Amino acid sequence: MTQAKSSLPPLLQRAIAPSLSTRFMWAGIVITTFFVVIALLAPWFQDWGLLQDPFKVPLENPIHSPPSADHWFGTDRKGYDVFSRTLFGTRAALHVVLLATTLSLLVGVPLGMVSGYLGGRVDRVMLFFMDTLYTLPGLLLSVTLAFMVGRGVLNAAIALSIAYVPQYYRVVRNHTVSVKTELFIEAAQAMGASTWTVLSRYLALNVIQSVPVLFTLNAADAVLVLGGLGFLGLGLPEQTPEWGQDLRQALDALPTGIWWTAMFPGLAMTSLVVGLSLVGEGLNDWINPLVRRER
């Protein structure tokens, strides 16, 4: 058994090692996968009659009904089924967050590579601009952008992504600056390789090691920021199932003892953030040799 395990690649050995960080990472993967499955199956559940329409209120639905066999998570002040809106809120959150983090990755990584590789005035100008964006709080920047672009899935994703572009830029740019002085880069340049060839073939795989970690941690943060935008009324369109909006509508009912309208969306948001954070921290310990520790 020991000999078979030693023949595995080092990354795979660390992935199955019974360390605390590995257990946390797999716990985060299970939690995140659970929410992904819910997001994918929610429309099918509605077609099968297992969920009520989260956009419409059936006439027979009571308002502020506590959890019961008919409404597992109860109903809110308008009669919406909280269970249905919580599940479809998962779909909305993952849709916006995945789009936002992907956009920021596609913009920040190439800019960081070009800036770090070219250096000079290009690097100084881009670094100044990105550092300026980086100093602004993510939620404040997203709120300002949401005011400018308005509501909607794409608009919310754009507002979130701009706040994360500087993070990808800084990480990739710093790695590029350190890697571009290696001998294999100088050898490629001496052989007449173009800038595009050096960036895509020799630099890319050596500077994006931290991108998966940053992607998951930014996704966790984006869930909270999207919830904040929804709570302020700046996220998705009105009546769209979204955790932040549901928490905003539930705020007035909390002093009267109506806890279920806020508890279940808040618990779903917290669980998804914890799952994504555990995946990110586990990947960091798994990939990065500088922070990896012996059991």
Domain membership of residue 237 (yes or no) is yes
Residue 134 in any domain: the answer is yes
Domain-located, residue 272: yes
Q: Identify the pLDDT of residue 17.
A: 57
Residue 290 pLDDT > 60:
no
* Domain around 237: 20-287
pLDDT over 90 (residue 169): yes
pLDDT tens string 18-74: 577 788 889 999 999 999 999 999 999 888 878 888 888 877 788 888 998 888 999
Residue 192: which CATH number? 1.10.3720.10
Cβ count near 249 (within 10 Å)? 17
Give 1's pLDDT tier (boundaries 50, 70, 90).
Answer: very low
140, part of any domain:
yes
Asked whether residue 246 is assigned to any structural domain, the reply reads yes
| Residue 27 falls inside a structural domain | yes
Number of domains into which the chain is organized: 1
- Residue 4: the pLDDT is 47
Distance of alpha carbon 97 from alpha carbon 103, whole angstroms: 10
pTM of the model as a whole:
0.85
Could you tell me if residue 13 is inside a domain?
no
Percent of the chain with pLDDT over 90: 39
Q: Per-residue pLDDT for 2 more than 70? A: no
213-226 pLDDT per residue, tens: 899 999 999 999 99
Say if residue 143's pLDDT is above 90.
no
In a domain, 1, yes or no: no
Given a cut of 90, is residue 181 above it in pLDDT?
Answer: no
pLDDT (tens digit, 9 = 90+) per residue, 90-140? 999 999 999 999 999 999 999 999 998 888 898 899 999 998 888 888 778
